[in-house]
Amino acid sequence: MSEKKPYKVPSTGMEYNEFAGSLGPYGNGNPINTELHVRYGVRGGRYYDWTIEVVGREGDVDSFRETGERPVRYVMDSFSVEDGAVVHRVRTGGGPDDFETTVARKLYAGDGALVDTGYDFFLKQLADTWEQRHEVRDPRTVATFGFAAQNRNPEFRDGDHSWVRNTIVCIDDDSADDVVVERLKHYFPDGGTVGVHLRSASRMKFLKVGRGVDAEENSFELDDDEAGSLKATGYASMGMMVDTIYRGDDWIDDTFMS
């Protein structure tokens, strides 16, 4: 019997998307924030390629405002699809090669369905591990994992919200300069979307953001001719941005959060 060939990510027909969101509070002197960053490739409704990362961010919004220096980020924990395996990496030190690397699951040719379901399995594993370490669920964690679950639904991902791509997830209290000027520019310098969880309404509102991000001016451009350029100055919150832009709108480009 011939040996099975290792799984390889399809080279054609793949459509990639990404999102990132905070997993805890930041600012007010908290020097480290933790973010979830996910990149996945879809073909025919299945995730045939994906990387799930827990990222540490050193430096808060207050220091960014004061110095303009970008926070330092590093991957602390990750699962990724590679040739023939789902690989798990855990950071063990401060050096670039200080990782403990293990094979979480071997993959063989024809295992595309297993790769697809593995995305849910390993994302849930990370979520469960995170919750076990934290007694109180921060609303940012709820928003990030809530969006991850909603985005998995093809009716959301490929339907009315197919334009929601390269997304930063946040809550209404988060500052606009931190979310748009720092986070979005780091992960998606060519622009993307911001998903704002409006907690009092239990819904998420999406803003499409263009490339007009200016760290010094704390401004950003919305891809909306009527909205034009808006200032994300000082302590303006994302909730304030949503209210300014969409007050009186019919709220067609949002989704309910459970």
DSSP states of 199-244: GGGTEEEEEEE-S--BTTTTEEEBS-TTT-EEE--TT-BHHHHHHH
pLDDT at 144: 95
Are 57 and 34 in contact, with CB atoms under 8 Å apart?
Answer: yes
Question: What are 46-61's pLDDT values in tens digits?
Answer: 999 999 999 999 876 6
pLDDT at 177: 83
50, 151, 188, 191 from 17: Cα distances, Å:
10, 10, 11, 13
Residue 62 in this model has a pLDDT that exceeds 80: no
Are 17 and 38 in contact, with CB atoms under 8 Å apart?
Answer: no
CA 169 – CA 258 distance, rounded (Å): 15
Question: What are 105-157's pLDDT values in tens digits?
Answer: 999 999 999 999 999 999 999 888 888 887 777 899 999 999 999 999 999 98
Tokens of 136: 């109180």
pLDDT at 24: 80
- Phi and psi for 176 in degrees, rounded to 5? -65, -35
Confidence of residue 36 (pLDDT cuts 50, 70, 90): very high
In terms of Cα–Cα distance, which of 116, 106, 103, 119 is closest to 6?
106
Tokens of 70: 């970008």
